[in-house]
Amino acid sequence: MAMVCLTDFEEYAKEHLSKATWDYYAAGADECCTRDDNILAYKRIRLRPRILRDVSVSDTRTTVQGTEISFPVGIAPTAFHCLAWHEGEVATARATEALNTCYITSTYSTCSVEEIVAAAPNGYRWFQLYVYRDRKLSEQIVHRVEGLGYKALVLTVDVPYTGKRRNDIRNQFKLPPHLKVKNFDGVFQQEGSVPEDYGIPANTLDPSISWKDVYWLQSITRLPIIIKGILTKEDAELAVEHGVQGIIVSNHGGRQLDGGPASIDALTEIVDTVQGRIEIYLDGGIRTGSDVLKALALGAKCVFIGRPAVWGLAYKGEEGVREVLQILNDEFRLSMALSGCRNVAEINRNLIQFAKL
């Protein structure tokens, strides 16, 4: 079967993954309103294409944090890639290296940060971080990834507690015994009696995390800090005031608070508040090249895909992730050209139809 669009990969993954694994990746919080709205929100946005602009040559390249990538789509941090494909994050890393874009490695990887670097030594990578009750755990992993050449830290700030994902509770989701959260291998010598939350002991995450922890993180690393999980202009302003280098507008794929905005709907107020002082990225709901175009027109510098990368893995490992990225790249290039844009610098808000009927 020819894989033509990202939905084809989704259907393949749904058919071929176990029910518990599919449910884990697909899960949203509570009634999944926000998860579903992440996708539906793009369909409400209309483009204003310009014509007769000579689009015979097009260029999709852009930069993030000063580094050039081939097109403005990276891989968002998602956990447990080995559930989808035996090579897991190693395959994802090779695919993103091959397409010369950014891979945000999850703390909850089923391959270690060292294995990922060894598999794709020239890849451009950021590392997604949680703050733990035991700050030493967070500090050790920061120093590990800094030494390995990861180029930024992505601090996830929307998980003081894990959202209620109903199917995971029904399925009693657990990592299979042959897989583990590799970055913490041997750190938690847990007895069978300790309740587990997605591969690590429950209550490991610190719900007391606050803005002062951003200062703490800056004190232990020289890497740029990007905050993931901001949805309001107030928090965007605080992020700038605290000296971070970027924001990822994100609702965690609709897996945390149900009833919050779609990330694309939160983007505009954040862009208007930040006014170019730091870079703004977005994840959640990107399924087509025109979705990418809409996000860039509304002010995102780059977008990141989560679930579609996992679907690509489930289809054919590294090759599947490459195909997913290539399809998005081709669709984005086509949408750009059909809108009259020759390069990403020409994409701006004039492309968006704001008037409501």
List active site positions: 252
Is 286 annotated as contributing to ligand binding? yes
Is 143 annotated as contributing to ligand binding? no
Is 134 annotated as contributing to ligand binding? no
Is 42 annotated as contributing to ligand binding? no
Is 138 annotated as contributing to ligand binding? no
- DSSP strand pairing (352-353 vs 46-47): antiparallel
Collect all residues with Cβ–Cβ distance below 8 Å to 23 and sequence separation of at least 6: 167, 168, 171, 173
User: Which is nearest to 284 in space by CA: 38, 101, 27?
Assistant: 38
Is 250 annotated as contributing to ligand binding? yes
Collect all residues with Cβ–Cβ distance below 8 Å to 56 and sequence separation of at least 6: none
CA–CA gap between residue 36 and residue 19 (Å, rounded): 19
Cβ–Cβ < 8 Å for 154, 127: yes
Handedness of CA 231, 236, 242, 246 (dihedral sign): positive
Is 248 annotated as contributing to ligand binding? no
Is 259 annotated as contributing to ligand binding? no
Cβ–Cβ < 8 Å for 28, 34: yes
Q: Strand pairing partners for 246?
A: 226, 279
Is 77 annotated as contributing to ligand binding? yes
Distances (CA, A) of 251 to 77, 128, 236: 13, 15, 14
Is 201 annotated as contributing to ligand binding? no
Is 252 annotated as contributing to ligand binding? yes
Is 128 annotated as contributing to ligand binding? yes
User: Which is nearest to 314 in space by CA: 34, 88, 138, 145?
Assistant: 88
E strands, the chain, where?
Answer: 46-47, 62-64, 67-69, 73-75, 102-105, 124-129, 153-156, 196-197, 200-201, 225-230, 246-249, 279-283, 302-305, 352-353
Is 45 annotated as contributing to ligand binding? no
Is 190 annotated as contributing to ligand binding? no
Is 18 annotated as contributing to ligand binding? no
Binding positions for glyoxylate are 24, 165, 252, 255
Binding positions are 24, 77-79, 106, 128, 130, 156, 165, 228, 250, 252, 255, 283-287, 306-307
Binding positions for FMN are 77-79, 106, 128, 130, 156, 228, 250, 283-287, 306-307
